Structure 1
């Protein structure tokens, strides 16, 4: 097996029926597995599209197929198979990570209204330069369930509800997609009253520590400050799963540093990495 092979034979058998079928008319498409391996090679190594090895065929073919699949729900169908086998751990953890943006990621000229591209292309400037923030929710087996993007300087809590709305695991048979986990663990960045109230309304157990400034403010107000929120230190230990999931995603150099001009392309690359993670036993 090659060093940068994305999928093993066993993993490919699990997802071989997920990509869209070849067109009935016109020339035959290049093999789907070859294209996925080419995309995986590009983002595992962090190389430019034009540097794809000849064994993958013309780089334009791979790039155009990648763009076509950018908004595809392939990895969602893979999650559906895992849910049917009761293989998803619904004690989820939430966090975000900063991704440095290469200078090639700036200067996108494509209108933001096309393909649901955000107006700022999920790029923000801070002391570290151009950055993108990857918001992530992981199940208790260190696998990504959803990951919206934002500019790197935006606060984590602003995208909490958008992240929770992204959790949607479809069913294999009849029935609505599952959108509600059993428990959410997060750090102090998500400790606002609005977030806790949102989780309470949905009947989701909350495991979020209270920051020191909120503790001091509650004690200062006395009886009007209310009771301290319940916090289970043992259950909070499961939050390391999202950190480990981030580490697995950032093993791909093209994910650890963004070179894509469009946010939808970078997010699609994260989807390819997620497929590889979900397909790995």
Structure 2
């Protein structure tokens, strides 16, 4: 995607793929963004390198303009719509995978607006302290080819199971199988999967009664683990720098969109 200057600038071929997608989902204001290609390149550069906004190379435009556009579009759900748009090329629903991960937060991720109730802050910031340190619990549901469909965020100390039913609702149709690890072992969640017309492949905990979990299905769970590995190649995904959950969700959706486009081109 980058050219030889190392600044993550879109090549003509790459921008020909991205431009129509961005134009379709961006806010249609009276004044269109100037130098949109340069600004989007700067957003990519910042999130792929995990740098400060102020460190954006001067040739990619004013850093404050880049940060302002990314944060404003994150609040408006543009990056989520971008991920939804690229998925219209086809989601493989023979199997779906659900998985969570802990993402450590940089110290600069703290400091968002205070004063609200704890529950409201948890929704707005999705930051909390767990045994792994201060961070965020991110959960993804992926299709049968290991491509992200939707994300959910919670404070770092939260369990991933409560986020799972909402992620199932993000699927466009009923999958054949829903595959998850023991973190999703719950009779109620399995019943939820059966009720929607799918089949669960979730191994029981050691203290639970045996349940059906075909090895030939569960063996494919590495696809969602590989997805997280690819997403965390973006340093702003591997370490959270954003102060709000909405902005960090935007980073995840942007990285997942790039992963979709790469998979489609292959």
Q: Is the 8 A contact 2:103 2:240 kept in 1?
A: yes
Cα distance in 2 for partners of 1:159, 1:245 equals 18
Q: Is the 8 A contact 1:112 1:119 kept in 2?
A: no
- Alignment equivalent of 2:65, drawn from 39, 61, 66: 61
Cα RMSD for the two superposed structures: 2.4
5+ residue gaps, structure 1: 168-177, 216-227
SS of 2:207 mapped into structure 1? helix
The one-character-per-residue Cα deviations of 1:224-276 (angstroms, maximum 9, x if unpaired) are xxxx4322101111111110000001001111011111110011011111111
Partner of 2:193: 199
Matches within 5 A, 1:203-222: 203-215=197-209
Length-normalised TM-score, structure 2:
0.86
The one-character-per-residue Cα deviations of 1:158-208 (angstroms, maximum 9, x if unpaired) are 2111222233xxxxxxxxxx2432211111111110000000000112111
> Which has the greater radius of gyration?
1
5+ residue gaps, structure 2: none
1:209 Cα deviation after fit: 1.0
Partner of 2:17: 14
SS of 1:109 mapped into structure 2? coil
Partner of 2:52: 48
Q: Is the 8 A contact 1:11 1:279 kept in 2?
A: no
- Alignment equivalent of 1:79, drawn from 55, 79, 87: 87
1:181 aligns with 2:175: yes
Partner of 2:233: 251
SS of 2:169 mapped into structure 1? helix
Q: How many residues align?
A: 252
Q: Is the 8 A contact 2:104 2:135 kept in 1?
A: yes
Structure 1 pair 246–261 and aligned structure 2 pair: CA distance change class (3 A): same
Partner of 1:235: 217
1:55 Cα deviation after fit: 1.3
